[in-house]
Each structure stands twice: as C-alpha cells, then as structure tokens.
Amino acid sequence: MMGEESIELFSRNNNVVKNAVVANTAGKRHYTTSVRGAKVQRQKVDYIDLMRCVAAIAVVAIHVLGPYRHEIGVISTTDWSVATTVNAASRWAVPLFIMISGALMLSDRRPFELNYYVRRRLGKVLVPFLVWSVFYALLSGVSLAGWNGSDAWQRLIHLPTEYTYYHLGFFYYFLPLYLVIPFLRYWVSVDDRQYTWALAAWWGLITLNLLRIDGWWSQDLLFYSGYLLLGYSLFRAPLLPARWWALLGGIIVVLTALMVILPSLEAQRYLVGRWLSYKTVNTAFIAVAVFAACRHGYPYLSESLRKGVSEISRCSLGIYLVHPLLLWPVREFNWYLGPSWLMIVWWTCVITGLSWLLTRVLMARRITAWLVP
C-alpha cells in the first residue's frame, strides 16, 4: 500500500552495484530505465502485490463485520462466533501493510534525499489523509435521523489528535513512522546484523504487551516501528517454511478467537483483552505466516490472477480510503440479511469491487488522482 514499489540496482560503466539485498528471486521482474544519466535496473517484487491485495481485502472484511462485534446475545451464538473468528483471523492486515513498507523502504540503498522523501513519500500520504479526514468528519454527521453538524464539528476540532472516522486511525500510527524510517534505513545499511537484537527485544515487548505488562516501553511508535524491522528481516531472509508457518498461524488464529469468544460468551458482552490488538505477539506471528504464504504462493498464481492481484495492489491505498463511504449504507440500513459468514463474504467482495472501481475513476482524472495515491 505505502512504500517503495521496486528495488533498485544501479549500473555505471558496466559495474553493477547492488542497492538492495534480495534473498530470493521468485516473484520478481526486471526492467530498465534511467535516473540522472545512470542506467538503472529495477527489480519489481511481485509477491508484494499479493500481500497488498490480501491485506486490503482483509481490512474491508474487518470493517464489514464491525456491527457484529457487539451483537452478542442479540444474534445467534453461531453467527456472532463466526464473525468474531473472522475478525481474529484478519488482524494481521494493518501490521502487514507496515511490514511491506519496512521491507521495501529499508532495503532502498539509494542516497537519501530529504526533499524527495518529504514531497514524494510523506506528502503523498499526508495531504490525501487530511482531505479525507475532513470529508469523513462531515460524513460522520450524516445518519438516518438527519444531519448532526455538532458531531461533525467536534470531530474536525479534534482531528490533530483523534481520527474522524474508524478506518483513519491507521494513519495516526503510520505517519509518525516516516520520522523513524530514515534512521532505521541508515542503521540497517551500516550495521546489517545488530538490528536483529533489537528485533528480538521487540518480540519480547509485544509479548509483554499481550500479557498486560506495561512500562516505559509501552509506546505505539516503538511497537509499530518493530513491524518495519520485521518486514525488512523477512524480506532479506531465505524463503520461510510456509507449511510450518501456515500451521502455526492457524493455531494462533484459533487460540486468539477462543480467547475472545469464551470469555465474551460467559460474560455476555464483548471482551477482547489485548488479543485483537495490532501490537501483540499473536498478531505478529499471524502476520509473519501471511507474509510467508504470499511469498511462497505467488509463483503458483496463474497469469490472469497475477494481473488481478496487481490491479488490486495498485489501488490498495485508494480502496482503503474510500471503502467506508461505500460501506456506509450497508451499516446504516443494516443490510445484513443472512448468516454472518455469507454476509461477510458477500459484502466484502461487493465493497472491495466497488471501492476498486471508484478508485480507478478517481485515478483516471488528474484533478482527483492525488486523492488515491
């Protein structure tokens, strides 16, 4: 979704200098271009497209099932449990987006240019975020009861510290990472091993977070920065044993779902503890499993599927930004007219498809293309 699209290999005077460490060539395509007179060979990491694609769909699913979370005792236990299980099985989506950025941006060995970084990286995301925040603040005042201008105004007032709509919370912990990335990028470029100790410590911290052991380390910036290093580490590593990671990921999904479902049913209210947090060890393990699955699975996709995956990947940020607009009538009019599993699948597919279409329409016009970078 956000991050460099390709890995660069610079070639001058027939001397090729690697600007990124790539551990495996599966799922990469080569093409050439030029940068300031230098011949550049780009390696596009195609399996990243698959990661963006599945993460975008998972985010839509999380928001589609949102109304079910607090319906315990209102709908059937089966419907509520299915929705909660899907929720538990989808929490990796946001961490995976951050891991993708870490994999690609920390691997970039081109000279760091502050103006380019601020203008093309931070600015490309920050400006659309601000515009969409204002738009969704206004939308939040719309309901079947009419227009609530005071609610919309309150959201606008608190925009600097609080998100104006449920999906925009992502940007409040992603945008600060742009301050961290240049330092991490320099660190891993000059000391390619020491960061592994920091990553090991991070695993310990997110384990403490799951266990509700808080301290000075309980900082969002620290937790989410770890995902940058995790993505970079997995990107550099040899292919992970996908079968074992899939098994481990599946076990942790079941454990996570049970740790939410059983206490909630006993109390007859929605209790999640920290099991559905993005900053806990169970979610990180599941994200690693999905990373491994996408890396292994991409070469087995047909050409037509690869094209579809690439298209969704290209529009993933736009899909993320616009899908709540299209989901609004579904939630407002409560168009959940069947079993939860069927409604989640149906509306996830429909909203993802419509969001892709709207994103493509916005991208096709220069005056609106910047809204869905």
Return the percentage of the chain with pLDDT > 70, whole number. 88
Nearest to 278 by CA among 78, 2, 58: 58
Relative orientation angle of helices 340-363 and 303-314, to the nearest 10 degrees: 70
280-311 tens-digit pLDDT? 999 999 999 999 999 999 999 999 999 999 99
Residues 6+ apart with CB under 8 A from 27: 45, 46, 47, 295, 298, 299
Range with the largest mean pLDDT of 71-75, 145-149, 244-248: 71-75
**Mean of all residue pLDDT scores within the chain:** 88
CA distances (Å), 196 to each of 121, 226, 236, 313, in order?
A: 26, 11, 12, 29
Spatial separation of the C-alpha atoms in residues 3 and 125, rounded to whole Å: 10
Report domain extents, the chain: 47-369
Nearest to 1 by CA among 171, 152, 204, 218: 171
- The count of other CB atoms within 10 Å of the CB of residue 230 is 23
Lowest mean pLDDT segment, chosen from 19-33, 185-199, 277-291:
19-33
Relative orientation angle of helices 123-140 and 149-157, to the nearest 10 degrees: 150
Is pLDDT above 50 for 66?
yes
> What is the rounded average pLDDT of the residues 18-33?
44
Spatial separation of the C-alpha atoms in residues 268 and 72, rounded to whole Å: 6
3-state secondary structure 148-206: CHHHHHHHHHCCCCCCCCHHHHHHHHHCCHHHHHHHHHHHHHHCCCCHHHHHHHHHHHH
Could you tell me how far CA 322 lies from the centroid of its own chain?
A: 15
Contact at 8 Å (CB) between 58 and 93? yes
Spatial separation of the C-alpha atoms in residues 336 and 346, rounded to whole Å: 10
pLDDT of residue 38: 44
The tokens describing 319, both together, are 């899909």
Angle subtended at Cα 49 by Cα 175 and Cα 239, rounded to the nearest 5 degrees: 100
- The count of other CB atoms within 10 Å of the CB of residue 322 is 25
CA atoms within 13 A on the CB side of 294: 28
3-state secondary structure 335-353: CCCCCHHHHHHHHHHHHHH
DSSP conformational letter for 6: -
pLDDT of residue 3: 41
Q: Identify the band that residue 27 occupies on the pLDDT scale cut at 50, 70 and 90.
A: low
Return the percentage of the chain with pLDDT > 90, whole number. 76
Spatial separation of the C-alpha atoms in residues 173 and 170, rounded to whole Å: 6
The tokens describing 284, both together, are 């990180």
Spatial separation of the C-alpha atoms in residues 94 and 311, rounded to whole Å: 19
Nearest to 99 by CA among 283, 240, 224: 224
